[in-house]
Amino acid sequence: MMVRVAAAAAATWMILMLAPMVLLAEGAEENKKAESVSSETDPYIWLEDVEGEETLDWVRARNKISQAKLESDADFSTLQSDLLAILDSNDRIPFVRKRGEYYYNFWRDEKNERGVWRRTTLDEYKKAEPKWEVIIDLDELAKAEGENWVWSGAQVLRPEYNRALVSLSRGGADADVTREFDIATRKFVEDGFNRPEAKGGMSWIDIDHVFISTDFGPGSVTDSGYPRIAKLWTRGEKLEDAKVVYEGKMTDMSISASHDSTPGFERNFVRRAIAFYNNEIYLLKEDGSLAQIETPNSAGKGVHREYLTLELREPWTVGDKTYKTGSLLVANFDDFMAGKRDFTVLFEPTDRNALAGARFTKDYLLLNVLEDVASKLFVMQPQADGSWSKTPLVGAPTLGTVSVSPVDSDESNDYFMTSTDYLTPTTLYMGEVGKQPEELKAMPEFFDATGLTVAQHFATSKDGTKVPYFMLYRKEMKFDGANPTLLYGYGGFEISLQPGYRATVGRAWSTQGGVYVVANIRGGGEYGPRWHQAALKQNRLRAYEDFAAVAEDLIERKVTSREHLGIQGGSNGGLLVGNMVTLYPDLFKAAVCQVPLLDMKRYNHLLAGASWMAEYGNPDLPEEWEFIRTYSPYHNVKEDVDYPTVFFTTSTRDDRVHPGHARKMFAKMEGWDKDVLYYENIEGGHGGAANNRQSAFMTTMAFTFLKQQLFPKDKE
């Protein structure tokens, strides 16, 4: 089993698409301490009170206005119904993970709103309609316990695979509980391992031991709100008596410990995440001592069987050899820990490509390389002389986005592979390295793609950088500047936006005559670490210049015009949208700003905000606030400027990006009589929705708003 101990793992957990009451109270107290006089300088500071009665009354009043405006649209109900049918469709692919002899899946549909955790055999899975064995019915559990449970995942204990650690959150928050579950009896284990509600996690070592990182009480969480302490917890022991294996600093992002259960290579690790892409990894020895894996903190680190892999995010000189940023290196793990520094370069980037992923099967390493945002898959095989051979993966598609993952990296060279693009529904294959893969399942066409086509273009940014973007449009489209166009982006945390089948976008936008554009701006990972690092901190404006360049290119090519150009983004993408609105108000007609960061003066004092200072900077330092202020929408919006119409959406239960960002920005613009709408989902977490029904509703609102703003009146 591949043990991923890279900083990217934390990125997935903490940021790409709300705490319990006790955490909310702590967050409010923290905010109060952070700026005791802020109410004098920020008249909307009161909107940071997440679940205050006055605040929620304000939210409900704005929600009512937005619903009245959008739900009255003649097409709203039909679109919402169609989107829900897509999300609930039993024709979707039920992706699985192998655990022992069974293949597990979590599934939501019309009959299972909250979802079911279920399993089947491989023979059954290959059938068009497999027979599933339900392990946990989350709707029944939520009803029995009177909780609005949302599935957060499960870890099954090997080698018997009869116990699981099941994680559940209230309303989709990052904060969750973890409870021990007996798969054979279908019951939670009485007096079993039980992690109370908090941000953190718990993972198996063996039947009587787990690693746990959580809120252990005052002083046990970091300034970012994540665990500062990792413990080894023995069955029957009180949680407060669990053995501490590592304590981090308050300024760290998070601390965790994990067990690699690969037969013959069992190891324990401790991970200290200092910031995004800044971590220290330690081998936890049997005597409790720690041995650091002495590599650059910025490197992504992985351990599989006898191998150590490093994904470099900065140049690294070892002896007389300097390895390039973006390279993938491999070494023998035990030799490395003994002091040897013998590396083999498995991948080195060019100006056009980057490493998208590396996954081990039993005897091979599968490389996924992005070349101008298109996937290419290769097989790396170790040779007797210590070198590695490289060959294309047999049967891998050569177009679109392709991903590959091992079925069971400890036992076989089998893999799952998916292939997709903007017009091609996702197809799932199963294969064995060296043989032609077998198509297992394919998603149906959820929208009529007849007449639609996709093209990749490159815009020239302010500093001369070529920025790629994809455009989905009708072949017969007239280049007359009148086409309603939606431009989407993210541009942060080294996250790549790759082509994929977006059924809801197809149904709600493309088939209605809208042009859909995805911009691969700097800050993302489309060209590896260099693309990400080019837009960090004081260089953040480059991401927005890239996005503006794409918008200008669309207008110059007469795809659209300002009157028909809208933008959309969420989270860090919401910050992108906020900046495009405030810095480039003349480029756009409408904007959808979802679960956004907007107040960059206070972001590091709100919920998980402190964990992102490596990306944006520390606004508490005057020299850094000087450049952060240039991309703080809340501080750059002005009363005497005409802005695009903006639809702000967020979630009360988002305990990652504080809903106060969207609330305050909307309130300021509303106070100046700007054309703005607001909707806040009471559930949903950072994803904005806790179930398919909520997802369909929120998506329908966004696209209805965009249609009303961007479509010529005779096309509505």
- Is residue 208 one of the residues assigned to a domain? no
Rounded CA-CA distance 90/108 in Å is 9
519 shares a domain with 631: yes
pLDDT for res 3:
47
* Residue 328 sits in the same domain as residue 420: no
- pLDDT over threshold 60, residue 514: yes
145-195: pLDDT as tens digits: 999 999 999 999 999 999 999 999 998 889 999 999 999 999 999 999 999
Residue 569 sits in a domain whose CATH number is 3.40.50.1820
- How many alpha carbons fall within 13 Å on the CB side of residue 353? 18
- Res 32 pLDDT > 60: no
Residue range 69-84: mean pLDDT, rounded: 97
Mean of pLDDT over the chain: 93
Residue 685 has pLDDT above 90, yes or no: no
571 located within any domain = yes
Distance CA 232, CA 243 (A): 5
For residue 58, tell me if it sits in a domain. yes
Q: For residue 684, what pLDDT band results from cuts at 50, 70 and 90? A: low
Q: What is the pLDDT of residues 106-125, one digit of tens each?
A: 999 999 999 999 999 999 99
- 686 catalytic? Reply is yes
Q: Is 364 domain-assigned?
A: yes
Identify the CA nearest to 690 among candidates 149, 123, 59, 51.
Answer: 149
More confident residue, 276 or 13: 276
Query: In this structure, what token pair is assigned to residue 538?
Result: 């004081």
- Calculate helix-pair angle for 53-71, 76-88, nearest 10 degrees: 110
Domain assignment of residue 316, given as a range? 295-349
- 398 vs 426: which has the higher pLDDT: 426
The pLDDT confidence band at residue 510, using thresholds 50, 70 and 90, is very high
Confidence bin at 9 (pLDDT 50/70/90): very low
Give yes or no for residue 14 having a pLDDT over 90: no
Question: By percentage, how much of the chain surpasses pLDDT 70?
Answer: 93
SS (H, E, C) 149-185: EEEEEEEECCCCCCEEEEEEEECCCCCEEEEEEECCC
Tell whether 413 and 469 lie within a shared domain.
no
Q: Contact at 8 Å (CB) between 690 and 150?
A: yes
Residue 571 annotated as catalytic: yes
- Section 537-561 average pLDDT: 98
**Does 38 score more than 60 pLDDT?**
no
DSSP SS3 for 652 = coil
Is 215 inside a domain boundary?
no
How many CA atoms are closer than 13 Å to the CA of 498, on its beta-carbon side? 25
Instruction: Answer yes or no: do 554 and 429 share one domain.
Output: no
Per-residue pLDDT tens over the stretch 163-175:
999 999 998 889 9
Q: Which residues of 225-263 are buried (b: 16+ CB within 10 A; e: fewer)?
A: bbbbbbbbbeeeeeeeebeebbebeeebbbbbbbbbbbe
pLDDT at res. 686: 60
Q: List alpha helices for 240-325, DSSP H.
A: none
Q: Are residues 401 and 334 in the same domain?
A: no
For the cut 50, the answer to whether the pLDDT of residue 716 exceeds it is no
Do 437 and 458 reside in the same domain of the chain? no
Neighbours of 352 (CB within 10 A): 10
Tokens of 398: 């050569």
**Statement to judge: residues 305 and 398 lie in one domain:** no
Query: Confidence class of residue 6 from pLDDT cuts 50, 70 and 90?
Result: very low
Please check whether residues 583 and 558 belong to one and the same domain.
yes
Do 613 and 464 fall within a single domain? yes
Do 428 and 496 fall within a single domain? no
Question: Does the residue 493 lie in any domain?
Answer: yes
Residue 63 pLDDT exceeds 60 = yes
Between CA 423 and CA 606 the distance in angstroms is: 40
Q: Are strands 388-392 and 201-206 parallel, antiparallel or unpaired?
A: unpaired
- Pairing state of beta strands 485-488 and 565-570? parallel
Per the structure, the count of domains in the chain is: 3
The first and second tokens of residue 655, run together, are 């305990």
In this structure, is residue 7 part of a structural domain? no
The answer to whether 66 touches 677, Cβ cutoff 8 Å, is yes
Q: Are residues 431 and 540 in the same domain?
A: no
pLDDT at 26: 31
Same domain, 521 and 611: yes
CA angle 383, 386, 387 (to 5 degrees): 65
Confidence of residue 398 (pLDDT cuts 50, 70, 90): confident
Identity at 166, one-letter amino acid code: V
Main-chain phi, psi angles of 605, to 5 degrees? -105, 0
Strand order in the sheet with 565-570: 452-460, 466-474, 515-519, 485-488, 565-570, 590-594, 645-651, 676-681
Q: How confident is the model at residue 439 (pLDDT cuts 50, 70, 90)?
A: very high
| Segment 631-646, tens digit of pLDDT | 999 999 999 999 999 9
Given the residues 254, 571, 632, 695, the one annotated as active site: 571
pLDDT band per the 50, 70, 90 thresholds, residue 589? very high
- Cα–Cα distance between 153 and 159 in angstroms, integer? 19
Integer CA distances (angstroms), 404 to 92, 99, 120, in order: 19, 18, 21
- Asked if residue 345 belongs to a domain, the reply is yes
